[in-house]
Every structure is written in structure tokens, then in C-alpha cells.
Amino acid sequence: MRIEARGLSFAYPGSTRPQVEAIDLPLPPGSFLGIAGPNGAGKSTLLKLLAGLLAPRTGEVRLDGRPLGAYSRRALASRVAWVGQAASLPFPVTVGDLVASGRFPHTGLFAPLTPSDHDAVREAMEALDIAPLAGKRVQALSGGERQLAVLARALATGAPILLLDEPVAHLDPRHHADIARLLLGAHRAGRTIVLSSHDYNFLRHFCADLLLLKEGRAVLHAPAGEVRRGQWEALFGVPFLEAPLPWGPGSFIVPRVE
């Protein structure tokens, strides 16, 4: 399933400049795109526009050639799964029920889950190693555990497109690695993945392509291996040190502090 942005611009009311400006972004099926940029670059806003949570000021987002507005909310939710930052869950709910809610686009809000729905919920929780938390209230979870539960809900939808805003924030190294393996597996299975992160080394090592954003504009859209240290320095306005990875090809970068 193909999703693409054409001439996409957006500004919040009262803003002195657009948060997203003139973005063209083709995403063929099976894309794995990482979005990087400084604070306020427009990463979260762009993801919300792609998810249909915000309406663009100009331009449009198309899904398989049709505008997002041509889809019902339920039809869109079965095709595009969104995971935002710091999900707000005001009502008491267990982890199992939260993940099961990912099946509502397929079953409807009040219909019972089928055996295949239960399988999708179980597999999503097992993939993120949160099955032991199924009976625990989401409100009692740590920030990292809650992030895993919300990600499992998105995975349980079976949507071919996953849009993830800072999915590895607040996670310890083990769960960081779990999510990396999950995303790589979803990519190999043919899902389209678009994620933002301040962990630029995570993006460099796991994403196939990168979109660098600055002040709402696309600075560069290229294969991850073609983005050089100088381009990261220009993006963030700081010098970086670069060192080769000890276990194979590639490198990692860190800000240089003098």
C-alpha cells in the first residue's frame, strides 16, 4: 500500500511560520523511513498529517492514489496505524484490553473478537514481551512499558503502514533492541514504516531511507548510507565525532564537545 505527500504544508493557528512546508514525500509499499531533525523541525506534525490527524493547509496526503479524506475513520485505521508520544489514556484499562482495541477497525467497537483477532493480540504482546502484563492496568505501568503497550496495539491492527513518533523514547536498552528487531521484522514482512526519533544513530543503522527536516522543510531525502557526517552537522548545527562500528561496516556519531 502506497502513501505519499504532495506539496504538504501546515501551520498551527497563531504560528509565525509553517511547521511543515512544501513537503513532497513518496513512500512506496515496504518503505522504511526515518525522520530526523532538531526540536521544532516539524517531525511530529508531518507524521500527524500522514496519519490524517491534522488537515493540511495546502497539498494533500494520498493512500493508494486516493485522498485520506476519501476513507472512513475505521477504514483508515485498518490501513494506517499511528503511535504518538506520551499517549493519553484517561480511562482505566488493562494492557490486554488496550492491545485488543487495535482490532476494532476490523470488528467494530462492540463486536466480540474472533479467534483470529485473539491470535493477533497475543502475537503483538508476545512480540514486545508484554504478555505477562496483560492483566495489569495501563495507568500503573512505567512510561516505557506504556509505550510498548501502545505499540503492541498498533501492531495488532495488522495495518500495512505504521507511523511511529519517537517509538524508542523512555525505553531501556533491552526494549530498545526489542523494538529494533520488531521493526526490522515488520519491514521484511512488507510493512511500510515511518518513524521519527532523536536517536539519530538508531535511524542511521536501522532505517533504509532518511528524511532530514529543518524548520519544516525537507533538507534531504536519501538512502541512510548516503547521509554523511557533514549533513548531520548542518542539520543540528553542531560538530560530530565519527567512529567505525567494531563489529562490521558503518559508524556511529556523537556531538563533539570541547
DSSP conformational letter for 161: E
Q: What is the mean pLDDT of residues 97-103?
A: 92
Q: Between the ranges 93-97, 112-116, 192-196, where is the mean pLDDT highest?
A: 192-196
* Predicted confidence (pLDDT) at residue 246 exceeds the cutoff of 90: no
The three-state (H, E, C) secondary structure of 120-138, written as one string: HHHHHHHHCCCHHHCCCEH
And the C-alpha cell for 120?
493477533
Q: Identify the structural domains of the chain with CATH numbers, from first to last.
A: 3-79+159-255 (3.40.50.300), 91-155 (no CATH)
User: What is the model's pLDDT at position 88?
Assistant: 60
Average pLDDT of span 133-162: 90
The whole-chain average pLDDT of the chain stands at 91
- Torsion-angle region of 7 (φ positive above 0: left; ψ -120 to 50: alpha; else: beta): left
Cell of 189: 514482512
Beta-ladder partners of 213: 218
pLDDT at 87: 61
Statement: residue 89 has pLDDT above 70: no
First to last CA, the chain: 47
- Quote the pLDDT of residue 86: 62
Calculate helix-pair angle for 143-156, 173-188, nearest 10 degrees: 10
User: pTM of the full predicted structure?
Assistant: 0.92
